[in-house]
Structure 1
Amino acid sequence: MIQPPGFWWDAGGGLPARALAPAAALYGAVSGRRLRRGSRVEAGLPVLCVGNFTVGGAGKTPTALALGRAAIEAGIKVGYLSRGYGRDGTAPLLVDPKHHGAAQAGDEPLLLAALAPTVVSADRAAGAALLRAAAAPDLLIMDDGFQSARLAIDLALLVVDGRRGLGNGRVLPAGPLRAPLDLQFSHADAVLVVGDGAAGEAAAARAAAAGLSVERARIAAEAARSWAGRRVLAFCGIADPEKFRRSLAEVGASLAGLRAFPDHHPFTRGQLADLQREAEAVGAVLATTAKDHARIRGSGARAAEFLRAVHVLEIEMRFVDREAPRRLVEAAMARFSARRRSPSPA
């Protein structure tokens, strides 16, 4: 995935955004039509969708994991559904983290599958059917898929990065929005603002004005003592590398450098060897994200050998209101039950 252009996050977007306005109008018309008229298939179980308004980097997967943990703690059996970006093939697959790598499943689904049964599928309706047959969960948590409008959703929680917010407010390719904003608001139920920032507060105010509930959370990095003062050469292939830089600073690591690659980047043997040589040259250890570690793992014996020398910074999404995850889970399940009791329209 190509890194988003800087003008997406500037107020108004300037000349590049204006030049792309015709293309954005066409994209917005297509994505808007899909949201309004998409043929939504019933999954046969409650669906809690974790999405975002913009392209990449808001924190959907950590949020999905936090909601899954809250559900499990409440005695609710959870299953995850993801598209599996970057994997080979499109057919529905029940992910086995012991036997599947990122090439078969995608990187984020490997993290989800470590917590609960996870299916990846380009066809979300087919994926939901496989998940229901294979794992019989009480609740389906869908990581992304809000704009695809393929499944009937009981509760849609959209995640917003507090620092970036909604960007320049324009639709792709003139801005980062995946569909017209007002239309996205009309199909969402709640917004989660992650971290601090004026842009995030502005998004929260707009969401509240649209009648959506607003929750807040922070990404918390592990506070392991082993990071304090440790000299690290960091590398990652995520949508917002600066988040990784800030997380390393929070745990007290001494950063020798950060090598940023495109989101979901498939690392080559040569790149891994170059990173190892560079770390040795500057007297540092290598550090990466859990998502990148999952993507590299399973890509061969040399990758496994490389990873033995890499330190992984674990993070988790922590809601400011600790009861919010369970409340969102229960709301999704209650809405599903209410829909099942309601008579179908004539």
Structure 2
Amino acid sequence: MRDPQFWKEDGLVPKLLSPASLLWRAGACIRTKTTTPRHPGCPVFCVGNFTVGGAGKTPTAVTLFDLLTAMGRNPHFVSRGYGGSITGPHRVDPSRDTASQVGDEPLLLAQHGPAWISRERFLGAEMARDAGADAIILDDGLQNPSIIKDCSFAVIDSNYGIGNGRVMPAGPMREPLISGLAKVRAIILIGDATPSFITNLPASVPVLRAHIAPVNGTDFAGKKVMAFAGIGRPQKFYDTLASVGAEIVATQDFDDHHAFNADELSALQIKSAGLGAQLVTTQKDLMRLPSGSRSGINSLDIRLAFDAPDQLAQIVKTVLADG
């Protein structure tokens, strides 16, 4: 699914859909009031966002994992496992599990550290704790009321911001901005732009600036590439690829979390060969490719770089000290 254009504008369609947004909000409210949140007994750091779609949560979670590890902690990732068939709790094994079983994001996270999937987040956190975790990184759980968080970060794509600011389906918001802000310790703003809502934030919500840094960009500099992606906002990937000096001769968009098949990949390989270009995709998409069809397909690997990394470190240290 692609974000509809009207999510970026506050025109007629969003206004007509506003009553449906009230139903969405009512459902979320009922869920919160009927759920008793529990704490797993070790610090829980939540990486989420206010909107649907890609914002940069996965590289943020990895950065947080590296930071906690450097501080002597044994963090584990806990994710819902969106797109996977296993309900969990289940510890992800990147050598055996597939994206169709556990989801692409948990599979990618498991390449960095211990990762669990669980439809019931608290049960996943509990299992992680019992397996030795002394810190939990909750992937995309900001709106999940079942688990008590010690610190929540909202990750925002600076170019997209919060769209038209309306709640689904009238806009991309998962909840009203005011309720989302009440949940977070800080906003992590990825990119160079400054969305208008940022200038009106309360002083109690700091904004940590960060940007996407390609890890293997030199592999594609000056080379012809055909890029394809099945993520929420593929243009971000294409822009990053272009920024390292790749000559993008063609692109192909797929739906977010698209399950690729061998025929699709064969068609991509034939087209790229005809263009004299190498096939490049994202790290997440690579997780979803059939293992027997990955030959000749590379990924642009990325990491998150904070403009002032000490800000994040100080927040984490404070949370650990309080816990």
Q: 1:295-306 counterparts in 2 under 5 A?
A: 295-296=288-289, 299=290, 303-304=291-292, 306=293
Please list the CA deviations of residues 310-343 of structure 1 after superposition, one character each: whole Å capped at 9, or x if unmatched. 12100011111122332232233233x2xxxxxx
Please list the CA deviations of residues 257-301 of structure 1 after superposition, one character each: whole Å capped at 9, or x if unmatched. 1111111110112111111111112111100011111121xx3xx
TM-score normalised according to structure 2 size? 0.96
Matched residues in 2 for 1:42 and 1:120: separation?
17
- Secondary structure (helix, strand or coil) at the match of 2:298 reads strand
Which residues of structure 2 form unaligned runs of 5+?
A: none
Matched residues in 2 for 1:230 and 1:107: separation?
28
Matched residues in 2 for 1:313 and 1:99: separation?
23
Aligned-residue offset at 1:148: 1.3
Matched residues in 2 for 1:159 and 1:186: separation?
15
Q: Is the 8 A contact 1:290 1:313 kept in 2?
A: yes
What's the counterpart of residue 186 of structure 1?
182
- Secondary structure (helix, strand or coil) at the match of 1:160 reads strand
Q: Is the 8 A contact 1:160 1:192 kept in 2?
A: yes
What's the counterpart of residue 6 of structure 1?
5
Matched residues in 1 for 2:111 and 2:171: separation?
34
Q: Which has the higher helix share?
A: 1
Q: Aligned match of 2:310 in 280, 300, 323?
A: 323
What's the counterpart of residue 343 of structure 1?
none
Aligned-residue offset at 1:206: 3.3
Q: Aligned match of 1:165 in 161, 166, 173?
A: 161
TM-score normalised according to structure 1 size? 0.90
RMSD, matched Cα? 1.5
Q: Is the 8 A contact 1:42 1:152 kept in 2?
A: yes
Answering whether residue 307 of structure 2 is matched by residue 308 of structure 1, we say: no
Query: CA 1:203–1:69 in 2, change beyond 3 Å: closer, same or farther?
Result: farther
Please list the CA deviations of residues 151-189 of structure 1 after superposition, one character each: whole Å capped at 9, or x if unmatched. 000001001110010110100000000012111111222
Q: Aligned match of 1:64 in 42, 61, 66?
A: 61
Q: Is the 8 A contact 1:215 1:324 kept in 2?
A: yes
Which residues of structure 1 form unaligned runs of 5+?
A: 338-346
Percent of pairs with identical residues: 39
- Secondary structure (helix, strand or coil) at the match of 2:156 reads strand
Number of equivalenced pairs: 323
Query: CA 1:223–1:95 in 2, change beyond 3 Å: closer, same or farther?
Result: closer
Q: Is the 8 A contact 1:285 1:310 kept in 2?
A: yes
Matched residues in 1 for 2:318 and 2:65: separation?
14
Matched residues in 2 for 1:115 and 1:187: separation?
27
Please list the CA deviations of residues 36-64 of structure 1 after superposition, one character each: whole Å capped at 9, or x if unmatched. 66421111110000000000111011100
Answering whether residue 102 of structure 2 is matched by residue 105 of structure 1, we say: yes
Matched residues in 1 for 2:200 and 2:45: separation?
22
What's the counterpart of residue 88 of structure 1?
85
Matched residues in 2 for 1:152 and 1:273: separation?
46
Q: 1:327-338 counterparts in 2 under 5 A?
A: 327-335=314-322, 337=323
- Secondary structure (helix, strand or coil) at the match of 2:267 reads helix
Q: Is the 8 A contact 2:40 2:122 kept in 1?
A: yes
Aligned-residue offset at 1:29: 2.2
Matched residue type, 2:176: P
Answering whether residue 14 of structure 2 is matched by residue 27 of structure 1, we say: no
What's the counterpart of residue 144 of structure 2?
148
